[in-house]
Amino acid sequence: MSAVKPKLLVLELWGLGDLVIATPFLRAASEKFRVTLLAKPFAQELRPRLWPEVTVLPFIAPWTAFQFHDKYHVWRWPWRNLFQVRQQLAAEQFPNGISARWDPRDHALMRLVGVRERFGIPRLKSSVFLTRPMPRPNVLAHHYDHWRTAGQALGLDLPVREKIIPPARKTSHRVLVHSGARLPARVWPLANFQKITARLREKKIEVQVACDTDQLAWWQSHGENAICPRSVTELLAQVDRAGVFIGNCSGPGHLAAISGVPTFTVYGPSLHEWFRPLHPAAEIYEGKACPYKPCSDYCRLATPVCLGKVTAEEVWPRVEQFVEKHFERSAGL
């Protein structure tokens, strides 16, 4: 009879891209532990594809649900739901819990629900909540390196980012252009995506435009039959039909990369050193310099310089080269 795996609580309470980056860790951890993942509800849609052995407990932490200026209005928090989740986790009596974020709120939450051994990267004296503080990676380290650090603390062997092997895929010569992002400051102006799309079609390349809900009317008013995925499952259906992905620093780009699709990302306020998609063929276009970069929730300027001043004419030669390279390679040319 095989030994029962110990239980492990994993916290990743933020966006789609953040959770996708945790995939190699979650896969490795599920071989050694019975993993419960505390994450936003879309984790339930990711689970069958990315980490089927993980148990997902959906939870929207209030400090991740609101915009920058509202996230600490505690009178708006869903306290009944918070108490229910707290009771559910406490009843599990987790012997181990881990967060790869440099976030005292995660550390306090693990202690609040009674996790015995609490692994985390201390910040603002949050080591008082931790029993197993972990070293912080280099300031420019990719977010995946935080998960590698977490893996090392648990005795897991995770590959370096450059050696993550993408899954095999069927050949496709369709370009998926996704113009959305969780934060408005990360969105390259839609007119630029429209110009890139038009140039690709001039070269007889099939393009499917996908977008966020608040962008759909703009695309339709400009004659584009854009698709607006309403769930991660619908987004995955589009990713599965794509040969390459073009978009912003966003969750859809990370999902494409972990699914094996080469990505081309236009970066503005975020750092590609932190969030480059997990695919060896991922390429980036760096936006304009700004003294406030990197930004978190919003831009301090009336118009984001980092993306607003990047033109389609600048980016097009790189996009053209990127698409042709991958389509020629997939065709065996």
Each residue's pLDDT tens digit, 119-169? 999 999 999 999 999 999 998 999 999 999 999 999 999 999 999 999 998
Share of the chain above pLDDT 70, in %: 94
Q: In what order do the strands lie in the sheet with 117-120?
A: 55-58, 34-39, 7-11, 96-99, 117-120, 132-133
* Better-predicted residue by pLDDT, 66 or 231: 231
Share of the chain above pLDDT 90, in %: 79
3-state secondary structure of 72: coil
Among 43-52, 57-66, 198-207, 296-305, the least confident range = 296-305
Alpha carbons 220 and 228: distance in angstroms, whole number: 11
* Better-predicted residue by pLDDT, 333 or 95: 95
* Closest by Cα among 258, 234, 324 to 51: 258
Topology given in CATH for the domain delimited by 7-163: Rossmann fold (3.40.50)
pLDDT of the residue at 297: 66
Alpha carbons 329 and 333: distance in angstroms, whole number: 6
Among 19-28, 72-81, 129-138, 305-314, the least confident range = 72-81
Stretch 259-268: mean pLDDT: 96
Stretch 252-280: mean pLDDT: 95
Helix residue spans in the chain (DSSP H): 16-21, 23-32, 43-50, 62-65, 79-92, 104-112, 143-153, 190-202, 216-221, 232-239, 251-258, 272-275, 305-308, 312-330
Residue with the two structure tokens 């390429």: 283
- Domain 174-330 of CATH type 3.40.50.2000: yes
Q: Is the pLDDT of residue 72 over 90?
A: no
Mean pLDDT of the chain: 92
Q: Where exactly are the structural domains of the chain? A: 7-163, 174-330
* Better-predicted residue by pLDDT, 308 or 154: 154
Q: Is the pLDDT of residue 333 over 50?
A: no
Q: Is the pLDDT of residue 74 over 70?
A: no
* Better-predicted residue by pLDDT, 82 or 119: 119
What pLDDT, in 10s, does the model give residues 188-225? Answer: 999 999 999 999 999 999 999 999 999 999 999 999 99
Topology alike, domains 7-163 and 174-330: yes
**What are the φ and ψ backbone dihedral angles of 31, each rounded to 5 degrees?**
-80, -25
Stretch 60-68: mean pLDDT: 73
pLDDT of the residue at 329: 62
Among 63-72, 211-220, 299-308, the least confident range = 63-72
